[in-house]
Structure 1
Amino acid sequence: MAAQAKILIVDDERDLVDAYVRLLERSGYRCAGAFDASQALQIIDAEPPDLVITDLSLPDSSGIDIIRRVRAKLPVAPIIVMSGHNSPGLHEAALAAGADISLLKPVSIAELRRVIGEALPR
């Protein structure tokens, strides 16, 4: 399943989303990109992904709120959060809200592939 898994990448940095989508598709994943929470939730409703990667800072929603909203719609899909902020408690709050893995940006594509491989069922 992992090689054909659909991944949703949510980040307001369009270049980052485009790069991750392109590189993860080369690894055999099906990917969709969203640049804010509203767009992400539309994609989730239309074709639920197997895994969600989201930034904690989105223009139209707090990172914690998007995690809760994604978790409510996709109770078993792994959620990976990324943030450029290493604020005390931020990553812990993300995990408490329902994220499975929290990473500090920048995240290399090799690290992202490794984490995705560990998060998705075999």
Structure 2
Amino acid sequence: MDEPSILLIDDEEAFVTTLQERLEMRGFSAAVAFDGQSGLDMIATNPPDVVVLDLRMPGISGVEVLRRIRKQWPGLPVIMLSGHGSDLDFETCIHLGAAMYHKKPLDISTLIDSVHAVTQGKQQPLR
């Protein structure tokens, strides 16, 4: 079985580039966008199977990107990541339709398990 395609949207370039490399080493197709608008543009031209989205970014926040994804691509699973998120952020993201919510740093095996869960419809809003 082919692994799901993933779009990583995060402004922390070193973090997200390393994450992309680690996913690709495990057979995933992983694209990267360093800001919310670029991520939305990439979804519009080549929709992934899963989006992994940072909560706090300059410009368009992760919450706003999530809102726009839900409006334009309601079935696209989104896994939220945050290094600084609060319980309110968690509740907001889950209310807006995030499939899962994890805090950074995130173990690669946890992310892979989450990607598989959301693409198979077995997710629970983890944090």
C-alpha separation in 1, matches of 2:53 and 2:27: 20
Deviation for aligned residue 1:23 = 1.0
Task: Tell me what 2:22 maps to.
Answer: 23
Instruction: Map 1:73-112 to 2 at 5 A.
Output: 73-112=72-111
Q: Secondary structure at the match of 2:75?
A: coil
Instruction: Map 1:26-41 to 2 at 5 A.
Output: 26-41=25-40
- Contact 1:48-1:74 within 8 A present in 2 as well: no
Which runs of 5 or more residues in structure 1 are unaligned? none
Deviation for aligned residue 1:33 = 0.2
TM-score in terms of structure 2 length: 0.88
What is the aligned-residue identity percentage?
35
Counterpart residue type for residue 31 of structure 1: A
Runs of 4+ in 1 over 4 A off after TM superposition: none
Task: Tell me what 1:7 maps to.
Answer: 6
Quick check: 5-14 or 80-89, which moved more? 80-89
C-alpha separation in 2, matches of 1:75 and 1:86: 23
* Count of aligned pairs between the two proteins: 121
Task: Tell me what 1:47 maps to.
Answer: 46
Counterpart residue type for residue 13 of structure 1: E
- Contact 2:35-2:59 within 8 A present in 1 as well: yes
CA pair 85-28 structure 1, distance change in 2 beyond 3 A? same
Deviation for aligned residue 1:46 = 1.0
Counterpart residue type for residue 61 of structure 1: I
Counterpart residue type for residue 56 of structure 2: S
